[in-house]
């Protein structure tokens, strides 16, 4: 994946923040000074000198080391919703002798970011005249655009009394594509009838019967490809080049009604993005219609066009699209009948059509179209694939009692009800483990077998 790189540059602003430990240290130093002056005690003067020295060291030593800091950032151009990505920072220490310790790097995003929390990286040591690399993982929880404004680098070395903060202006933009879904291969639609309408011609060489061009004969060419009439007019043999047929045109129609829920809309957009990627891998020419009459992208082959369609779906219905259009975010008005007829006029019988519905209601479409529903996303997945976590219904809120029980199980391995939490949760595995262990369990089973009463061998009706 390509990355956008910001070269190392000096900070745009810097400031100092006194921590809670520094505030308590300052108050303690002040009381020591008052006690030393009033009591004229040498020990109090020594303690006051140590406290004052700690303040001077925290303010001067760490500040002089941070002055030589230069920062660069490497971020990906695109990311996937629900999949982890990584921010990489190049921390260059331009000081000749002074190293830097305990650096924390935090991003500052603008607006409502798809990131649940800003990424944070830590670097324990930055030697002089070196450029170490720090990494910060991040996972976007929805699609959209991440607009990064600045990066703040902070350090409270050596005593944690003052926090030096350097702010670097490194603007960047990351497009978060819809969640990745792998569909079955048999979901690829087929056109109502074969052919390409007579408007498409061969654009590449391939094993087909269509004419692409002519070239000189090369040893090894089939004699059937020799063009005898052009060869008779020249001194060399001329052979015909066969062209590959144009790709199948497939329209992906995304139906997002106003009353659809947010989860249904996200599932439908993820299904449409997965279908576009699957068709692009098959070499089809893919077109996109979102809410017929609102947005249309004409069919085109290639992975580059598929990426354009994915970028369009990434910002559809988000605040970034609303800012670009100058309208509030949210579902737009349904298109008119004339707009629907205009979009349907682009679709021909030799085009394949797949309609992705956010709800169970079907919008008007061509008769030969294939239909996918957001609620049935689990049945469309490839074998072994599961629904991404961000496309699942949100979990019910955890009660206070369940939260305390979970914390007790995680930290103390004891259930507050009275049961001891063990690692063996499968009863069959626990039974096999107890049988295989030659300990108390085996002795108990042998003792129970010895004390078990033997069955009577007397016949029925016989006297005792």
Q: What angle do CA 315, 388, 358 make, to 5 degrees?
A: 55
| pLDDT value of position 443 | 46
Per-residue 3-state assignment (H helix, E strand, C coil) for 380-438: HECCCCCCCHHHCCCCCCCCHHHHHHHHHHHHHCECCCCCECCCCCCHHHHHHHHHHCC
| pLDDT value of position 459 | 41
- State how far the Cα of 208 lies from the Cα of 161, in Å rounded to an integer: 77
Widest distance between CA atoms in the chain: 122
Query: Is residue 57 in a domain?
Result: yes
Q: Are residues 258 and 319 in the same domain?
A: yes
- Kindly provide the residue ranges of all beta strands, DSSP E only, lying in 178-271, ordered along the sequence: 205-216, 238-243, 249-255
The partner residues of 123 in beta bridges, in order of sequence, read: 103
Q: Which helix (H) or strand (E) holds 360?
A: none
The partner residues of 104 in beta bridges, in order of sequence, read: 122, 154
Q: Please report, for the domain that includes residue 366, its CATH number.
A: 3.40.50
Q: Are residues 74 and 60 in the same domain?
A: yes
Give yes or no for a cis peptide into 264 (omega within 30° of 0).
no
DSSP 219: T
Query: Is residue 461 in a domain?
Result: no
Q: Are residues 168 and 277 in the same domain?
A: no
| pLDDT value of position 311 | 93
Q: Please report, for the domain that includes residue 144, its CATH number.
A: 2.60.40.10
Query: Is residue 168 in a domain?
Result: yes
Q: Are residues 82 and 169 in the same domain?
A: yes
Q: How confident is the chain (464 residues) per 10-residue block, as mean pLDDT?
A: 66 88 92 90 90 85 81 91 92 88 85 77 90 92 88 89 90 92 88 49 54 78 82 83 76 89 92 94 90 76 92 83 51 48 67 90 79 92 90 85 81 59 47 48 45 44 40
Residue 209: name the closest of 184, 254, 241, 234 by CA: 241
- State how far the Cα of 209 lies from the Cα of 204, in Å rounded to an integer: 12
Query: Is residue 446 in a domain?
Result: no
Q: Are residues 340 and 426 in the same domain?
A: no
CA distances from 83 to 117, 137, 246, 349, 402 (A): 14, 10, 35, 39, 29
Q: Are residues 129 and 214 in the same domain?
A: no
Half-sphere exposure of 344 (CA within 13 A, CB side): 15
Residue 120: name the closest of 102, 139, 141, 104 by CA: 104
Residue 298: name the closest of 345, 333, 349, 341 by CA: 345
Query: Is residue 459 in a domain?
Result: no
- State how far the Cα of 225 lies from the Cα of 176, in Å rounded to an integer: 50
| pLDDT value of position 430 | 46
Query: Is residue 454 in a domain?
Result: no
Alpha-helix residue ranges (DSSP H) falling in 315-373 = 319-325, 337-346
- State how far the Cα of 151 lies from the Cα of 73, in Å rounded to an integer: 9
- State how far the Cα of 167 lies from the Cα of 161, in Å rounded to an integer: 20
Instruction: Indicate the SS3 state at residue 8.
Output: strand
| pLDDT value of position 320 | 60
| pLDDT value of position 454 | 47
Burial class (CB in 10 A: 0-12, 13-18, 19+), 118: middle
Q: Are residues 214 and 169 in the same domain?
A: no
- Kindly provide the residue ranges of all beta strands, DSSP E only, lying in 139-265, ordered along the sequence: 144-155, 162-177, 205-216, 238-243, 249-255
Query: Is residue 42 in a domain?
Result: yes
Q: Are residues 205 and 351 in the same domain?
A: no
| pLDDT value of position 112 | 65
Question: Can you read off the two tokens belonging to residue 463?
Answer: 């006297």
Q: Are residues 418 and 296 in the same domain?
A: no
- State how far the Cα of 14 lies from the Cα of 386, in Å rounded to an integer: 47
CA distances from 297 to 254, 289, 305, 313, 345 (A): 12, 7, 10, 11, 14
**Residue where a domain terminates, one of 357, 385, 413:** 385
Q: Are residues 268 and 239 in the same domain?
A: no
| pLDDT value of position 458 | 42
Note whether 72 and 10 are within 8 A (CB).
Answer: no
Q: Are residues 142 and 16 in the same domain?
A: yes
| pLDDT value of position 29 | 92
Q: Name the domain count of the chain.
A: 4
| pLDDT value of position 64 | 76
| pLDDT value of position 332 | 47
Using the CB atoms, write b or e for 55-82: b if 16+ within 10 Å.
beebbeebeebbebbbbbbbbbeebbbb
Query: What residue numbers bound the domain in which 225 lies?
Result: 201-243
Query: Is residue 407 in a domain?
Result: yes
Q: Are residues 368 and 239 in the same domain?
A: no
- State how far the Cα of 176 lies from the Cα of 72, in Å rounded to an integer: 22
């Amino acid at each position: 994946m390509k990355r956008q790189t910001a070269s190392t540059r000096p900070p745009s602003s810097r400031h100092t923040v006194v921590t809670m430990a520094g505030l308590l240290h300052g108050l303690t130093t002040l009381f020591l000074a008052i006690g030393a002056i009033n009591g004229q005690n040498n020990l109090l003067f020594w303690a006051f000198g140590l406290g004052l020295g700690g303040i001077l060291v925290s303010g001067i030593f760490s500040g002089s080391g941070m002055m030589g800091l230069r920062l660069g950032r490497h971020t990906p151009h695109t990311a996937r919703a629900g999949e982890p990505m990584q921010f990489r920072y190049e921390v260059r220490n331009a000081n000749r002798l002074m190293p830097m310790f305990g650096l924390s790097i935090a991003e500052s995003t603008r607006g409502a970011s798809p990131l649940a929390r800003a990424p944070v990286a830590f670097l324990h040591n930055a030697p002089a005249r070196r450029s170490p690399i720090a990494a910060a993982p991040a996972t976007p929880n929805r699609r959209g655009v991440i607009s990064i404004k600045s990066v703040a680098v902070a350090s409270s070395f050596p005593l944690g009394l003052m926090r030096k903060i350097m702010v670097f202006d490194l603007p960047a933009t990351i497009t978060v594509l819809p969640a990745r879904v792998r569909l079955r291969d048999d979901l690829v639609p087929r056109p109502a009838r074969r052919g390409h309408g007579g408007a498409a011609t061969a654009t590449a060489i391939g094993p087909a019967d269509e004419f692409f061009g002519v070239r000189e004969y090369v040893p090894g060419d089939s004699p059937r490809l020799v063009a005898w009439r052009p060869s008779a007019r020249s001194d060399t043999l001329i052979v015909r080049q066969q062209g590959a047929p144009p790709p199948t045109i497939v329209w992906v129609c995304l139906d997002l009604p106003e009353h659809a829920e947010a989860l249904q809309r996200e599932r439908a957009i993820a299904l449409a993005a997965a279908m576009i990627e699957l068709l692009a891998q098959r070499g089809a020419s893919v077109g996109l219609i979102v809410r017929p009459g609102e947005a249309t992208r004409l069919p085109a082959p290639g992975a580059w066009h598929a990426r354009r369609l994915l970028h369009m779906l990434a910002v559809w219905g988000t605040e970034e699209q609303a800012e670009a259009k100058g309208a509030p975010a949210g579902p737009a008005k349904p298109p008119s009948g004339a707009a629907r007829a205009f979009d349907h006029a682009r679709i021909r019988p030799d085009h394949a059509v797949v309609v992705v519905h956010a709800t169970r209601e079907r919008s008007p479409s061509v008769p030969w179209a294939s239909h996918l529903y957001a609620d049935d996303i689990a049945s469309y997945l490839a074998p072994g694939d599961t629904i991404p976590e961000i496309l699942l219904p949100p979990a019910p809120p955890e009660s206070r009692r369940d939260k305390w029980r979970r914390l007790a199980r995680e930290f103390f391995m004891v259930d507050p009800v009275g049961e001891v939490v063990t690692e063996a949760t499968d009863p069959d595995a626990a039974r096999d483990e107890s049988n295989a262990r030659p300990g108390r369990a085996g002795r108990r089973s042998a003792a129970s077998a010895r004390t078990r009463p033997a069955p009577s061998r007397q016949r029925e009706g016989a006297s005792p």
